[in-house]
Structure 1
Amino acid sequence: MQVKETLNDGLKRGYTITVTAAELDDKVVGKLKEAQPDVEMKGFRKGKVPMAMMRKQFGPRLMGDAMQEAIDGAMNEHLTTSGDRPAAQPEMKMSNPDWKEGEDVVVDVTYEKLPDVPETDLSKVKLERLVVKADDAAVEEALKNLSESPQAVSYDAKKGAAKDGDQVLIDFVGKIDGEPFDGGAGEDYPLVLGSNSFIPGFEDQLLKAKAGEEKAVTVSFPEDYQAPHLAGKEAVFDVTVKEVRASKAPEIDDELAKKFGAEDLEALKGQIRERLEAEYSGASRAIAKRKLLDELDTLVDFDLPASLVEAEANQIAHQLWHEENPDHQGHDHPEINPTDEHKSLAKRRVKLGLLLADIGQKAEVKVTDQEMTQAVMNQARQYPGQERQFFEFVQQNAQFRQQLQAPLFEDKVVDHIFDKATVTEKEVSKEDLQAAVEALENED
């Protein structure tokens, strides 16, 4: 078996693999001898079938297996010896497609290898992490928002006309073409005007209504309404307003705290402070991560596999096209060609992806089974009632598991770099942090 280099240009590699006819024949004979003890044929005892007859019966099929094994073996041996890691599946093509038994097999192999990522002195990375403390004013503001939330607000009956924010207690019967329809009736329903919980236009027509008043409310179901038999149709609701109620914000005290599962007001304040600081910390980390990636993009440079960059640029262009054309769900669209901007972003992503993977591998960063299980459970919550089917899908889909694992691995590598880098903390206001987040979003 011979492996001869035919291409060595940057990351591009090409080889010709030659498997001689004698080598193939030896492999076929070896397979036949291995199988001979278990072979039975009419007129011969088990294990006593002559090699010539076995070769005639099974040889052609085993020849294909022998060819594949020989080529795969030569390729694996080459990759082990050279240390090359193909960026994608190597392209293999027989240079003698009209091959006949008794001839050598010659295969042309081409691929792009992953680059050798240079060592990076992570201690040279200098970063600033923004720190925001949840002060008393922020806690009080959050408490006030909680007290005004639907869970906390109560309603007391009032006289006069209903206005935005009031609650009306209503009975209603909906009709299409004069006939009631399923799901279109209700009794003693508490509807908060302005909550947009009913069909668009319904709540607006109850503004200025008074207790005891009956109204005919005419609305049209949206074209994309979840019940297809109602979508786009006009309906008339006969509504009786039984009571008009004004909202009443609760006192900010221990009773309010208990509504939100806290023992008392001080305990609720403590929970709010922790939640706010967790939110601030998450935003601060996102900013620091972006600055870290920018720093690494500038600090490190190496050749990139053109095939990976091209694939990433095509994916970016395709994704952005669909975001700009949300009504076009299928793939029967005009040809989408990446722009220079797409290609530039693709180069950054490929470079950083390879760099983080290399740093993580050298640092032996691993995603634990527990972390993967938690990620799967978090995803499963998006499919209430279908969790079991989702778990089965994840178990059977290695590509999807990789998609879940990739961001976990990246975040662990980023944390590893944070530990090695020179990081200084800068205390800022909540407003400064928000401005930094908005600046980050505008860059994307």
Structure 2
Amino acid sequence: MQVTETLNDGLKRGYEITVTAAELDAKVHEKLVDAQPEIEMKGFRKGKVPMALLKKQFGQRLLGEAMQEAVDGAMSEHFETTGDRPAMQPGVEMVEGESWKEGDDVKVNLTYEALPDIPETDLSGIELERMVVKAEDSAVTEALQSLADNAKDFEARAEGEAAQDGDQVVIDFVGKVDGEAFEGGAAEDYPLVIGSGSFIPGFEEQLVGVKAGDEKNVEVSFPDDYGAENLKGKAAVFECVIKEVKAPKAAEIDDELAKKYGAEDLEALKAQISERLEAEYAGAARAVIKRALLDKLDDAVKFDLPPSLVEAEAKQIAHQLWHEENPEVEGHDHAPVEPTEEHNRLAERRVRLGLLLAEIGRKAEIEVTDAEMTQAIMAQARQYPGQERQFFEFIQQNQQMQQQLRAPIFEDKVVDHVLEQTNVTEKEVTRDDLEKAIEALDEE
């Protein structure tokens, strides 16, 4: 077997691998020897079929396997010897193509782009600032008020008082289309909050001004995309009897409210809110310091990039942004989207940082554990209520989906590893300062 270099230009590599006919024949013979003890053939005892007969019967079939194994072995040996790691799937092509015949040497062209050598980075020289936000009393009070609003009750309005937006009306109703009641269109003692948007458009607004004891015909049209096929776009009349009109009553911010939310008392609820708020602030602050870290790494570390990776990333960015600008187009059968210079610049940054973080993670032996993967899968599965098991099984059988879940976990672990080695100082700021920093990330 012989490997001859044919291309060495930047990160582009090309080699011609030659597997001689004698080497192929030896591999076929080796396979036949391994199989001979188990082969039975008419006129011969098991394991006693002559090698010449076996070669005539099975040699042609085993030749393809031998050829594939020989080429795969040569490629593996080549990558192990050179230390090259291909950026994408290598190209493999037979030189002779269809003109090759048994007895000829096999010549294969191997082409690929090698991953670059990534220089060591002195992470200790990187200086970063982590924003720290304490939960202010005003933020805790605001959160408490929101909880109280969500826990609000309703109490009956004075007799003869009309319903307002935000009130709860208790109604009996029967819905009819063309004068006929339809299935699922009736209810008794239904508590409907005006303005909640829980009924079809135009229904709730017509109940503003009704009083307890009123009868009201609500005229609406079902949306064209309504779930029930027989009701799509149909005009309907709902005959309503108003039984009660109730005004919202905010819950008191006290120990009773705290108990509704599982806390022992109001002080314990405030402590829980503070902890949750500061955890949210810390998550936002991490996004800010992560961007700052990546900016510094992008400026500090330069190396050649595999053109194929940059091109693929630029096309993906262009395609994604095009769909964001054209949300009405759901399919992908549109004309190709050509990347711009801005797309290429962003692609170079992503590829450079991706390769750098991958190399740092590899050297630090950072891995995504099975427990972390399971947690990520379960988090995704919750988006499909009732189908969690099917989703879990789908992910287990789909390597590409597993990689999509594993990649961000790996990146975050590498970022944490890098941050531990950099010079990070903490700076206490206000919530407004943090929000402005987050807004600035979205603008970039």
User: Smaller-chain TM-score range?
Assistant: over 0.9
Q: CA deviation at 1:171?
A: 1.3
Report the equivalent of 1:419: 420
Amino acid at match of 1:367: V
Q: CA separation in 2, counterparts of 1:434 and 1:236?
A: 48
TM-superposition CA deviations, 1:386-425 (whole Å, max 9, x none): 1111111121112211111111111111111111111111
Amino acid at match of 1:285: R
Q: CA separation in 1, counterparts of 2:347 and 2:239?
A: 58
Q: Which runs of 5+ in 2 are unaligned?
A: none
Q: CA deviation at 1:75?
A: 0.6
Report the equivalent of 1:348: 349
1:153 aligns with 2:132: no
Match of 2:231, SS state, is: coil
Q: CA separation in 1, counterparts of 2:236 and 2:345?
A: 53
Amino acid at match of 2:203: F
Q: CA separation in 1, counterparts of 2:219 and 2:313?
A: 51
Report the equivalent of 1:127: 128
More displaced 10-residue stretch of structure 1: 258-267 or 221-230: 221-230
Q: CA separation in 2, counterparts of 1:355 and 1:154?
A: 56
Q: CA deviation at 1:229?
A: 3.6
Report the equivalent of 1:113: 114
Q: CA deviation at 1:223?
A: 2.7
Alignment of 1:142-221 (within 5 A): 142-149=143-150, 152-159=151-158, 160-221=161-222
Report the equivalent of 2:226: 225
Report the equivalent of 1:407: 408
TM-superposition CA deviations, 1:16-43 (whole Å, max 9, x none): 0011111111111111111111111111
Report the equivalent of 2:95: 95
Q: CA separation in 2, counterparts of 1:55 and 1:192?
A: 84
Q: CA deviation at 1:246?
A: 0.6
When residues 430 and 11 of structure 1 are mapped into structure 2, their CA distance, relative to the original with a 3 A threshold, is same
Alignment of 1:44-123 (within 5 A): 44-97=44-97, 98-123=99-124
Report the equivalent of 2:40: 40
Report the equivalent of 1:305: 306
Q: CA deviation at 1:325?
A: 2.1
Q: CA deviation at 1:385?
A: 0.7
Q: CA deviation at 1:345?
A: 1.2
Q: CA separation in 2, counterparts of 1:370 and 1:8?
A: 43
Amino acid at match of 1:355: L
- Calculate the aligned-residue CA RMSD, in Å: 1.2
TM-superposition CA deviations, 1:82-106 (whole Å, max 9, x none): 0011111111111101101111111
Q: CA separation in 1, counterparts of 2:279 and 2:70?
A: 57
More displaced 10-residue stretch of structure 1: 152-161 or 5-14: 152-161
Q: CA separation in 2, counterparts of 1:255 and 1:51?
A: 90
TM-superposition CA deviations, 1:250-298 (whole Å, max 9, x none): 2111111111111111111111111111111111111111111111111
TM-superposition CA deviations, 1:175-230 (whole Å, max 9, x none): 22222222222211111111112112111111111111122212222333333443
Match of 1:148, SS state, is: helix
Q: CA separation in 1, counterparts of 2:427 and 2:176?
A: 62
Q: CA separation in 2, counterparts of 1:113 and 1:229?
A: 61
TM-superposition CA deviations, 1:84-138 (whole Å, max 9, x none): 1111111111110110111111111110111111111111111111111002222
When residues 358 and 127 of structure 1 are mapped into structure 2, their CA distance, relative to the original with a 3 A threshold, is same
Report the equivalent of 1:14: 14
Q: CA separation in 2, counterparts of 1:37 and 1:146?
A: 77
State the 4+ residue runs in structure 1 displaced beyond 6 angstroms.
none
Match of 1:270, SS state, is: helix
Match of 2:101, SS state, is: coil
Amino acid at match of 2:235: E
Q: CA deviation at 1:143?
A: 0.8
Q: CA deviation at 1:442?
A: 2.0
Report the equivalent of 1:398: 399
Q: CA separation in 2, counterparts of 1:229 and 1:418?
A: 59
Q: CA separation in 2, counterparts of 1:286 and 1:238?
A: 54
More displaced 10-residue stretch of structure 1: 275-284 or 228-237: 228-237
More displaced 10-residue stretch of structure 1: 125-134 or 368-377: 368-377
Q: Which runs of 5+ in 1 are unaligned?
A: none
More displaced 10-residue stretch of structure 1: 2-11 or 45-54: 45-54
Report the equivalent of 1:2: 2
Q: CA separation in 1, counterparts of 2:341 and 2:232?
A: 43
When residues 102 and 358 of structure 1 are mapped into structure 2, their CA distance, relative to the original with a 3 A threshold, is same
Report the equivalent of 2:279: 278
Match of 1:252, SS state, is: coil
Name the TM-score, length of structure 2 as normaliser.
Answer: 0.97
TM-superposition CA deviations, 1:292-348 (whole Å, max 9, x none): 111111111111111111111111111222222222222221222112111111111
Q: CA separation in 2, counterparts of 1:224 and 1:282?
A: 39
Q: CA separation in 1, counterparts of 2:443 and 2:241?
A: 49
Match of 2:92, SS state, is: strand
